[in-house]
Every structure is written in C-alpha cells, then in structure tokens.
Amino acid sequence: MTKVRLTAARIRDLECPPEKTQVFMRDTDTQGLGVRATKGSKAFIFQSKLKNGSTIRSTIGDIRAWSLDSAKEEARRLQRLIDQGNDPRELEQAKVEAKAEAKRAKEAALLEKENRSRYTLRALCNAYSDHLEAKGKGSARQARSIFKCHVFEAAPDIAEIPAREITSHHAAALVRKVMEQDKSRAAGVLRSYLSAAFNAARKAPFDAKLPSSLIPYGVESNPVEPIATIPVNRGERTLTTEELKTYMAALSEESIADLALRLALFSGGQRMAQLLRAKVSDYDQETETLRLLDKKGKRITPREHLLPLAPMGAAIVEKLLAMAKKKKSDLLFSSNGTTSMVETTPGKRVFSICQVMGCEAFDLRDIRRTCETMLAGMGVSKDVRAQLLSHGLSGVQSAHYDRYEYITEKRNALEAWERRLDDISKGKSSDSNVLSIKRKRPLR
C-alpha cells in the first residue's frame, strides 16, 4: 500500500493497473485513511489495528459521495473508537440491528393499531352473524338485529373496543342496559348471541368447522360466561275468539305482510321466519303442499317441513304466486321481487293491529301459541301438532327412524282448523270442529 499525503489530484490520478484487481494508497496525515481503486471504481477505506493486534478494514464510501475532508473526519472517528477499546464493526452491526429492531417495532405498532381498529367487538358480532348466515341459519337475521340495536347503537364506545379486550364488565353493562328497559327476553337473547360469538372466536383456532376469519380476533376467553343466564318467562298470552275474529278482519288480502300473517294463521301458526324463506318452487300446486325448511336449532342441514294446505291456505298461496309472477320473482314473500321480506315487517304489522284493537299486547309468538292451544282444544293430538308446527323434531327417533310425514293427519287438522277459523269469523260456536284424528301408517 503506497503511503502519500492524499490530495484530490492524487486520488483522481490513482488507477488500477490491468494486471491487478485493486490498488491502495494510504494517507500519511490521517491515521487509517486510504483509497482503494478497482477497475471502474474508487472508494475511501479505513484500515487499522485493534488493541488485540488484529487488523480491521472497512469501506467508508465512494469518492464521488464523500469529500476528502469528510472521509478524514470519518477515519478519525473510527480511530477514536478503536483507541477507546471498541471494534467499529461491532458498533456498526449493533447500530444496524437497533435500526432494524426499531423498524420492526414501528411495523408491529402500526399492525397493532390496525388490528385494534379492525378486530373490534362490532366486527366480531358481524363476523359471527356472517358465520350463521353461511350455515343457512335463520337466526342470522335475528343476531344482526339484536347486535345492531343493543350493541352498535346502544353502546358505540364498547362496540369499537378490540374484541379480545372486552371484559365481563363491558358485557354485563350491555345486557344490564337492555334489562333496565324492561326487555328481559331481548336481554337474554343478547347474552346468548354475545356468548356464542365469543365462544366461536375462542374455539376457531382449534375447530376446522369454524371460519378462519374468527382467528385474528385473538379471543382466548369468553367474557360473557360470568353473566348469569336470564330465564325467559314462558308466554301465557293467547287471543280470545273475539280478539282472533277482530285480528282476522284487520288483515287485508292485498298487502304482502298481511298475506304472510294470514298464511301463518291459516296454516296452523307456522313460524314466520320459515314462511318468509319460501320460494315459488317450494309450492306444489297439484297437491297444494308447501315445502318449508326448518333451520331451527343445531341442525347441520335444514329439515324439510311439508304443509298440505287446506283450501283457504292454498288460495292465499295462489294469490302470492300471482304476485310473484307479476314481479318475475322466485320468492313467495318479497316486496321488491329480489329479497325476502324480513320477519320484523309482519311483526310490526301485528303490533299496529294490536294498537288499534286496544287490547292486551300480543305478538307473533302469541298468535302461534293461540293456534296450538285451539288445535289442542279441537282434539288434534300432541304428535300431530308437533308435526304440523315442526316442534322439536331433531331427536334420534325423528331424525333416523320415523320417516312418516303425517301428510294425511296434517291436512285433516288444517281443514278442521280452517272450519274453526271460519266459524270464529262468523261468530259461530266451536262445538262442530272438535275432531279425533287417527294416525294411519302407510302400507309397507
């Protein structure tokens, strides 16, 4: 290595001979400073000995990027580090690592901020509702409604908290707020759906049947578990024959919502949610049978529920078919022809009729209860009522062995039921409508 006093001219004139790969020129004024020339480039370098006697060499930088004075200053700085007992390479590595760690920390902080704003209680409630919908559960619509009303709108501050940071105190505050509005049933439903959502997110990493979209919420426990379940008082309200007569008279034959209420009534008190999912293709005009899908409970696949309608029920469906045809829709109950009517629409209609009647409040469940109570009074057996109203038919016997559809019994019951409703509308006695239906098994 040539030792000279480095100048701009000498650095400019330094060339690497063709027979060599590199040449060096060392400064006599600044300890450790030198210039290395290769074919096509020149750079300032630093070379010195550590206190343990080992030699270190490092590149300061290209001569086009560094002036001679700045290179000298850098060489002095590196030499001072050596004089202090440090290895500049180790310090530089530590600096690089610290910079990388700072970058990782910044990225982690940004990710955490994004996750906090993304994986909130609101998002978890929506994701769980999506999960129910994907499984074809009719409860998805109710879940969305209860979350919207009693979480998103009632407590937007809690709704925006990351789901994994929701505490039992947060959950209790949500449920208590509904209870204080004297809505014990809604409070119980809210508690149930919140608990189900957190349980699904908690189990998602270990259960392939649950959607992977629930995993990023990072839920490790269910904050709803400590909250006491809310027993829902069994409804006792049934309509009197006079109230039922007034209710029927209030239902028009033109409104989709009213037709839904009429069909629910004339078909023996069917669940509104199941009726509203019916399509045009679900009705067999030849046999006057309406096919419903019972998605209630933990069924993996919906249970087929066949309704052999009596004349008045069939006439209502025929009117609905004509309306659907005019709208070019495949949905039996749709105001716009593209989406099914939501259950709250006929529910609100019942409420408005009740208000006009000025009687004790009643709702869709009370009408369903009234139907079954009257059917029982007419002599329709418990088994037939269970089949007609699709009550609890998911047991082992019903699911695997009893494949008989009770078509004859259900049709007989609905024909008698329509006669009973006709008598009520005309103010006649009910004595003539008591019947005894003997179950007939099909020939084998």
pTM comes to 0.58
pLDDT in tens, the chain (444 residues): 689 999 999 999 999 999 999 999 999 999 999 999 998 899 999 999 998 989 999 999 999 999 999 999 999 999 999 999 999 988 888 989 998 998 888 888 787 777 788 999 999 999 999 999 998 887 888 899 999 999 999 999 999 999 999 999 999 999 999 999 988 889 999 999 999 999 999 999 999 999 999 999 999 999 999 999 987 666 689 999 999 999 999 999 889 999 999 999 999 999 998 999 999 999 999 999 999 988 765 556 678 899 999 999 999 999 999 999 999 999 999 988 898 898 889 999 999 999 999 999 999 999 999 999 999 999 999 999 999 998 755 554 444 444 456 899 999 999 999 999 999 999 886 654 545 444 444 433
What pLDDT is attached to residue 393? 52
Contact present, 244 and 424 (Cβ < 8 Å) = yes
What pLDDT is attached to residue 107? 83
CATH number 1.10.150.120 given to 2-86: no
What pLDDT is attached to residue 172? 96
What pLDDT is attached to residue 296? 64
At the topology level, CATH places domain 241-433 in: hpI Integrase; Chain A (1.10.443)
Q: Tell which CATH classification among 1.10.4030, 1.10.150, 2.70.70, 1.20.950 matches the domain 119-217.
A: 1.10.150
The boundaries of every CATH 3.30.160.390 domain in the chain are 2-86
The boundaries of every CATH 1.10.150 domain in the chain are 119-217
What pLDDT is attached to residue 123? 95
What pLDDT is attached to residue 398? 47
List of residues 6+ apart from 282 with CB closer than 8 A: 290, 291, 292, 332
What pLDDT is attached to residue 392? 58
Sheet holding 22-27, edge to edge: 2-4, 22-27, 33-38, 41-49, 55-62
Task: Extract the tokens encoding 277.
Answer: 């999912």
Task: Extract the tokens encoding 374.
Answer: 């009257």
Q: Which residues are registered as beta bridge partners of 339?
A: none
